[in-house]
């Protein structure tokens, strides 16, 4: 008997795969890039986007883009949940595949790590290209680009601050939001304070149709590379328009967009000549795991294995800013664990890293004193069902909060 059409069976696979025949293939450069090559013969022209191969600059797959969007969030009707005292909503984790502009005064923040470039590199041209997926034809579509002077994270970058307590009204640890470090707010809401942003916009853009839109960031990028300005990226914000809560005028493709890497935001750089990339290497610590386990047993502590790669910008910043650059985090980790650092690019570690399940870098592996894997912390990826946002490896506050629980659970009972 014919019972009509039947529904297909839904199968959940982790990690999921992208049904895109172009995925995994080399991403074609944009026409704007080809034009810059013609205009600047002899220069080094590169496209920076998440997962871009940059072997000429010592990077296996570029992992230096951070982005997020958020709304004004200070109106009483915002989402039915905020009041005039302010709200700090950040869409960096829930909707990390898209960026918004306008409507609810939504703005987007984006930053490109340029630590692989030497300070004396000369930037002849720098263009930020954003792919517009959706544009409201009735909106004004006028935006300015401002350079930020304070660091921020995708997980906490909203109205009130970059690492703000309003994201967690009930601190998780001993009455403190973060085990290490304090909150870091904007001087004024929406990064309006003098210490939050450079005084003048660095670019303007209009995008009232789908497709690519560009902003010239040459001056700002040169100042970031030389060290004249701290590189905390830019904010793209509407210059006017009518506030409409719960709405947006423009939807852009974000840096982790999984469907097609070719649509991810790109920073096109024209560098004079062929600048030598900044040399980086991993300084291993207690790479003899047997000796490290013996030390852990004696101290009654778990092992905390940091797996790093000089070909990963996130690994470089994790080691430089946190593991070596934060005395407070160093004290926190030394009190709770025996640290090991391994260079993921050394062949002799490959089998061990595979057994631990390490796929993305940098990674933190928590081991019992007997060598049993108790926890694995590693960055999100487009096909990863779990992980930390990459900036968690760049902030002592976020990293200490992420690793505190696994270390506590792995500590032997006394």
Q: What are the tens digits of pLDDT across the range 271-314?
A: 999 999 998 899 999 999 999 999 999 999 999 999 999 999 99
Domain with CATH 3.40.30.10 in the chain: 289-410
**pLDDT for the residue numbered 194:** 94
Cα within 13 Å of Cα(350), Cβ side: 4
Across the range 362-390, mean pLDDT stands at 88
Cβ proximity of 308 and 318 under 8 Å: yes
d(CA 270, CA 340): 39
Q: Which of 104-108, 139-143, 174-178 has the lowest mean pLDDT?
A: 174-178
CA dihedral 312→50→223→329, nearest 10 degrees, is -50
Region of poorest pLDDT, from 143-147, 178-182, 214-218, 358-362: 178-182
Tokens of 217: 């960031």
What percent of the chain lies above the pLDDT cut of 90? 59
For the segment 382-399, the average pLDDT, to the nearest whole number, is 85
Does the pLDDT at position 82 exceed 60?
no
Contact between 184 and 161 under an 8 Å Cβ cutoff? The reply is yes
Task: List all residues 6 or more positions away from 340 whose beta carbon is below 8 Å from its beta carbon.
Answer: 285, 286, 287, 289, 292, 303, 304, 305, 306
- pLDDT given at position 4: 39
Sign of CA dihedral 155, 158, 164, 169: negative
Using left for φ > 0, alpha for ψ between -120 and 50, and beta otherwise, residue 190 falls in left
Grade residue 247 by pLDDT with cuts at 50, 70 and 90. confident
| Rounded-to-integer distance, Cα 338 and Cα 74, Å | 45
pLDDT tens digits, residue range 37-62? 999 999 999 999 999 999 888 898 99
Helix (H) or strand (E) holding 351: helix 350-356
Average pLDDT of the chain, as a whole number? 85
Name the pLDDT band for 11 (thresholds 50, 70, 90): very low
Weakest-pLDDT range from 77-86, 157-166, 304-313: 77-86
**What is the mean predicted confidence (pLDDT) over 228-252?**
87
Pick left, alpha or beta for residue 260 (phi over 0 → left; psi -120 to 50 → alpha; otherwise beta): beta
| Residue linked to tokens 């630590």 | 115
What's the CA gap between 223 and 221, in Å, rounded? 5
| Strand 303-308, strand 338-343: pairing | parallel
DSSP annotation of 202:
S
Q: What is the CA radius of gyration of the chain?
A: 23
For every residue of 376-395, DSSP letters joined together read EE-B--TT-SS-B-GGGGT-
- Going by pLDDT thresholds of 50, 70 and 90, the confidence category of residue 343 is very high
Q: What percent of the chain has pLDDT over 70?
A: 82
Sign for the pseudo-dihedral over CA of 173, 184, 317, 127: positive
pLDDT value of residue 38: 94
Residue 129 has φ and ψ, to the nearest 5°, of -115, 130
Q: pLDDT-derived band of residue 97, with 50, 70 and 90 as boundaries?
A: confident
The least confident of 7-11, 25-29, 121-125, 346-350 is 7-11
Whether the Cβ atoms of residue 232 and residue 151 lie closer than 8 Å to each other: yes
At 66 the three-state DSSP class reads: strand
Q: How far, in Å, CA of 101 to CA of 237, rounded? A: 7
Domain 289-410: give its CATH code. 3.40.30.10
Q: Please tell me the predicted confidence (pLDDT) of residue 188.
A: 83
Relative to beta strand 142-147, strand 303-308 is unpaired
Stretch 6-32: mean pLDDT, rounded? 56
Provide the 8-state DSSP code for 321.
I
Phi and psi torsions of 293, nearest 5°: -65, -40
pLDDT at 383: 65
Q: Which of 234, 199, 8 is nearest to 107 (CA)?
A: 234
Is the pLDDT score of 176 beyond 80?
no
pLDDT at 37 (0 to 100): 93
Q: How many CB atoms lie within 10 A of CB 405?
A: 13
């Amino acid at each position: 008997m014919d019972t009509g059409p039947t529904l297909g069976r839904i199968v959940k696979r982790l990690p999921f795969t992208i049904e895109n025949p172009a995925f995994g293939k080399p991403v074609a450069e944009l026409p704007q890039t080809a034009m810059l090559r013609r205009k600047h013969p002899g220069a080094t022209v590169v496209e920076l986007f998440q997962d871009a191969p940059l072997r000429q600059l010592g990077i296996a797959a570029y992992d230096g883009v951070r982005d997020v969007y958020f709304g004004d969030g200070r109106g009483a009707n915002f989402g039915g949940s905020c009041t005039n005292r302010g709200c700090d909503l950040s869409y960096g984790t829930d909707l990390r595949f898209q960026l918004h502009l306008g409507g609810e005064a939504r703005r987007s923040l984006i930053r490109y790590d340029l630590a692989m470039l030497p300070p004396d590199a000369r930037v002849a041209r720098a263009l930020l290209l954003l792919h517009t997926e959706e544009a409201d034809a009735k909106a004004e579509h006028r935006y300015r680009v401002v350079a930020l002077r304070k660091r921020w994270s995708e997980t906490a970058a909203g109205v009130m601050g970059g690492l703000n307590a309003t994201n967690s009204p009930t601190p998780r640890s001993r009455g403190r939001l973060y085990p290490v470090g304090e909150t870091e707010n904007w001087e004024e809401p929406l990064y309006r304070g003098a210490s939050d942003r450079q005084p003048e916009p660095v670019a303007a853009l209009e995008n009232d149709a789908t497709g690519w839109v560009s902003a010239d960031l040459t001056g700002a990028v040169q100042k970031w590379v030389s060290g004249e300005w701290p590189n905390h990226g830019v904010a793209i914000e509407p210059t006017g328009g009518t506030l409409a809560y719960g709405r947006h005028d423009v939807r852009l493709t974000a840096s982790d967009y999984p469907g097609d890497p070719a649509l991810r935001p790109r920073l096109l750089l024209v560098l004079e000549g062929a600048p030598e990339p900044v040399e980086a290497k991993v300084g291993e610590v207690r790479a003899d795991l047997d000796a490290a386990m013996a030390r852990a047993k004696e101290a009654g502590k778990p092992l905390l294995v940091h797996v790093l790669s000089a070909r990963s910008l996130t690994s470089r910043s994790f080691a430089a800013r946190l593991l070596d650059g934060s005395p407070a985090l160093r004290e926190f980790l030394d009190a709770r664990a025996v640290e090991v650092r391994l260079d993921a690019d050394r062949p002799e570690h490959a089998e061990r890293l595979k057994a631990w399940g390490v796929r993305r870098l940098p990674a933190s592996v928590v081991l019992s004193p007997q060598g049993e894997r108790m926890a694995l912390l590693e960055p999100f990826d487009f096909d990863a069902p779990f992980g930390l946002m990459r900036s968690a490896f760049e902030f002592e506050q976020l990293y200490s909060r992420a690793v505190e629980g696994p270390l506590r659970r792995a500590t032997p009972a006394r």
